[in-house]
């Protein structure tokens, strides 16, 4: 999405004021929300998922009259204003829109089926509320939908008493009300058993839907959301480093994920380095994880300049999800990549699957020739961990070590690890 996403998705009240309300006998507001983004995210790559959202928006837009346009509140969250209809007629239209939105869509050689939850709020004269109040009512009703209501369509009468704090619909909104929290997953050296760092992973403490992982909300994020999430995770990660230092724990580094839209901002590297300096944290203690698709031929001039500036300053750069994207040999050479993260798709069952073993050995041999470190992510069993250590992988990360945990729990983990590191398999490299 473009940097003007906040202008493309204009404020709801401005949109609502674009059509006359004078003389309306009744008004209804319908909100539809795409629910199965986590499942779709496992089936589709990020580009295909973006195409799905575009196709869904277009399909819903074609299903209504020109003067009842679809409003995109956030990616995957759609609103409609239906005027001068009975509640029964409005419900009939809402069901048709939900059914149309849930039609199978062909993408990337496979067919996927969106799942939409819907909330319809209806009001009639006299005392007809303005559309803004109806929209707020519908959004609050949608926030109250729990797991039992997923994929359902519910009709409500406008309730002027249903009010409360400002509604949270996007990641940016969630950051503003402190619902986004950094959780941390440890990374362990296969050679010494020591902690080499933590990766910071975003969690959304949603008041109605519970704890959400990035797979549940990241596909719907706008560019503004991505930028704000990065700043939020950076601030919490730097604070975590300070906390570990003050508690006397040796945590060499923390890793944060950076998307391509942040890297394409010409001021990104300067802002990041300024934050490190402001918190008095050495650049070498921050690991910037970038996707494998970031390469000299596929990235912008701003992206290349940012990566070179960060590497020159001393920040470590990881190439994430290695083996799943474009060939990155030029990126390794030109951008000073310190470490490649072997994607979990190659790690799963690597201790027993010959095909997985061949892929792992090829990646490790490539990394050794290039003189860079390797980290295997998604290591879920001690057997996988043992095989990777024997084959010469430098570090591992995954459930075999620890699930992602909140900051407060990292102190207990670090304390236990001080005395139990010897229990982890530090197996000598074969050959």
Residue-level pLDDT at 158: 83
In whole angstroms, give the CA distance from residue 368 to residue 301. Answer: 29
- pTM of the shown model: 0.67
Residue-level pLDDT at 30: 92
Residue-level length of the chain: 431
Which parts of the chain register pLDDT below 50? 1-20, 296-297, 327, 426-428, 431
In whole angstroms, give the CA distance from residue 8 to residue 142. Answer: 23
Q: Where in the chain is the domain with CATH 3.20.20.450?
A: 171-423
Give residue-wise pLDDT tens across range 163-185: 555 566 788 989 998 999 999 99
171-423 carries CATH number 3.20.20.450: yes
Residue-level pLDDT at 17: 44
Residue-level pLDDT at 423: 53
In whole angstroms, give the CA distance from residue 208 to residue 147. Answer: 9
Residue-level pLDDT at 429: 52
Q: What is the DSSP letter of 284?
A: G
Strands 254-257 vs 195-206: parallel, antiparallel or unpaired: parallel
Q: Where in the chain is the domain with CATH 3.30.70.270?
A: 24-157
Residue-level pLDDT at 160: 77
Residue-level pLDDT at 333: 67
Residue-level pLDDT at 74: 74
What is 24-157's CATH number? Answer: 3.30.70.270
In whole angstroms, give the CA distance from residue 89 to residue 25. Answer: 13
């Amino acid at each position: 999405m473009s940097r003007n996403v906040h202008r493309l998705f204009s404020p709801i009240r401005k949109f609502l004021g674009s059509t006359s309300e004078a003389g309306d006998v009744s008004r209804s507001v319908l909100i539809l929300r795409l629910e199965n983004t986590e499942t779709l995210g496992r089936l589709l790559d990020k580009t295909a998922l973006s195409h799905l959202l575009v196709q869904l928006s277009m399909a819903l837009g074609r299903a209504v009259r020109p003067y009842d346009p679809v409003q995109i509140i956030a990616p995957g969250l759609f609103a409609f204003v239906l005027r001068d209809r009975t509640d029964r007629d409005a419900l009939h239209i809402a069901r048709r829109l939900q059914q149309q939105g849930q039609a199978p869509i062909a993408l990337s050689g496979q067919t996927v089926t969106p799942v939409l939850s819907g909330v319809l709020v209806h009001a009639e004269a006299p005392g007809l509320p303005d559309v803004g109040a109806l929209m707020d009512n519908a959004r609050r009703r949608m926030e109250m939908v729990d797991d039992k209501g997923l994929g359902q369509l519910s009709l409500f009468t406008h309730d002027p008493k249903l009010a409360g704090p400002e509604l949270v619909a996007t990641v940016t909104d969630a950051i503003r009300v402190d619902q986004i929290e950094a959780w941390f997953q440890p990374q362990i050296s296969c050679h010494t058993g020591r902690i080499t760092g933590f990766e910071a992973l975003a969690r959304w403490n949603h008041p109605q839907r519970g704890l959400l992982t990035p797979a549940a909300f990241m596909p719907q994020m706008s560019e503004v959301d991505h930028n704000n999430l990065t700043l939020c995770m950076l601030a919490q990660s730097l604070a975590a480093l300070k906390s570990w230092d003050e508690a006397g724990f040796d945590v060499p580094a923390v890793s944060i994920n950076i998307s391509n839209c942040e890297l394409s901002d010409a001021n990104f590297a300067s802002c990041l380095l300024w934050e490190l300096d402001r918190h008095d944290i050495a650049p070498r203690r921050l690991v910037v994880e970038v996707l494998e698709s970031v390469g000299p031929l596929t990235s912008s001039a701003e992206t290349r300049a940012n990566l070179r500036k960060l590497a020159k300053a001393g920040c470590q750069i990881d190439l994430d999800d290695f083996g799943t994207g474009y060939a990155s040999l030029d990126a390794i050479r030109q951008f000073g990549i310190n470490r490649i993260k072997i994607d979990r798709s190659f790690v799963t069952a690597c201790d027993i699957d010959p095909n997985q073993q061949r892929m792992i050995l090829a990646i490790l041999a490539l990394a050794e020739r290039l003189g860079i470190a390797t980290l295997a992510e998604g290591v879920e069993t001690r057997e996988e961990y043992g095989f990777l250590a024997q084959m010469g992988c430098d570090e591992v990360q995954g459930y075999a070590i620890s699930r992602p945990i909140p900051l407060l729990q990292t102190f207990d983990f670090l304390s236990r690890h001080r005395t139990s590191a010897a229990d982890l398999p530090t197996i000598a490299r074969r050959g």
